[in-house]
Amino acid sequence: MADKTRITIIGGGVGGYPAAIRAARMGADVTLIEKDALGGTCLNWGCIPTKSLLQSAGVIQTLKDSEVFGVKCKGYEVDFGPS
């Protein structure tokens, strides 16, 4: 039986982890090395967190503009602490 192709991928961001999954599905023996957080910039600091903040900002703006829609909304608080 032929040896499996061995692949080492450095970095578990959106570049690295899909490559690791793809290579494993193609039958390779894959090692993924990640020095910090799996998911990389996009999942942990970039795309996803910024979209979450953007959505929160949109909700705040809707609350501020609520009287335009005939809704009086007072007394809300912004709290970005852990939920």
CA dist 13 and 5 (Å) reads: 22
Tell me the closest approach of the beta carbon of residue 24 to ligand FAD, in angstroms. Answer: 17
- Dist. CA 45–CA 54, nearest whole Å: 13
Picking from 9, 11, 33, the residue whose alpha carbon sits closest to that of residue 23 is: 9
**How far apart are CB 7 and ligand FAD at their closest, in Å?**
15
* Token output for 5: 């192709």
Shortest gap between Cβ of 18 and ligand FAD (angstroms)? Answer: 9
Give 41 or 66: the residue with its C-beta nearer to ligand FAD.
41
The residues that touch ligand FAD, with contacts defined as CB under 6 A, are: 10-16, 33-36, 40-42, 46-47, 50
